[in-house]
Amino acid sequence: MDVSTYATVTDVCLRLAGRLSDDVLDTVRSHYFAGEPGLAEATLLVSLAHDGVGITRSEHDLIQSTLEDPVNSDLAAVLLVDEVPPSRFHFTAGDPEPVAADAVLRAEAPKFGGVRLWRAWREPDGVWVYVLEVASDPLRASSGLSSRLWVELKESWPVEVVVTGGPVHPYQAAAIAAGRVVHEA
């Protein structure tokens, strides 16, 4: 995957956070990072269509630019919307704190170039969400941190990764604004 496609895939996943399920996004990111774009594309497109998650024309064009076959019937099945719907989630600092998950991610974040790690409680579904800021390679960081949480604790809290100086979309911005810093380099 070239640098431009990598950046586009990362951006698309960040844009769809909070709209597409955490597990689907984790799978899409992991497949792209592992060099399996066909599996990533199929997972993304079928999930968008099956779950009725609408995308804007600009999101459609971004996704289409990353596809191995830009004339993809699965993309045609995805609902187009005029604008991104409002988030169904809101974030707070949350209580109690997930001490074990914080410790694992605090230890792992530097291995992925983590600059800062936030944790926020997402409502109404009651889920901890982590946002890690890195200098580069967000798909590697997302895949690696999610894997470590599962291997170490059998937990699958969503891990969003943003790049220093890059776009911070509304979902990640809301988590950062409400969250607590649990690691800083």
Cβ-based neighbour number of residue 102 at 10 Å: 17
96 or 60, higher pLDDT: 60
For the segment 91-104, the average pLDDT, to the nearest whole number, is 91
Angle, CA 151 vertex, CA 158 and CA 130 arms, to 5°: 20
Which residues make Cβ contacts (< 8 Å) with residue 74, sequence separation at least 6? 41, 42, 45, 46, 49
pLDDT of residue 162 exceeding 90, the answer is: yes
How high is the pLDDT of residue 11? 94
User: What are 180's strand-pairing partners?
Assistant: 119
How high is the pLDDT of residue 3? 83
50 or 6, higher pLDDT: 50
- 8 A C-beta contact, residue 22 and residue 174: no
For the segment 96-105, the average pLDDT, to the nearest whole number, is 91
Confidence of residue 2 (pLDDT cuts 50, 70, 90): confident
For the segment 128-146, the average pLDDT, to the nearest whole number, is 94
For the segment 135-148, the average pLDDT, to the nearest whole number, is 93
The residue extents of the domains of the chain are 3-76, 90-184
Nearest alpha-carbon partner for 47 in 71, 28, 72, 31:
28
Residue range 71-82, pLDDT digits in tens: 899 999 999 999
CATH number listed for the domain at residues 90-184: 3.30.460
User: What are 51's strand-pairing partners?
Assistant: none
Tokens for 105, please give them.
Answer: 């991610």
Cβ-based neighbour number of residue 99 at 10 Å: 9
How high is the pLDDT of residue 6? 86
Is the pTM higher than 0.85? yes
Residue range 103-131, pLDDT digits in tens: 999 999 999 999 999 999 999 999 999 99
Identify the sign of the CA torsion 110, 113, 116, 118: negative
Give me the helices (H) in 52-155, please: 57-66, 73-76, 99-108, 138-153
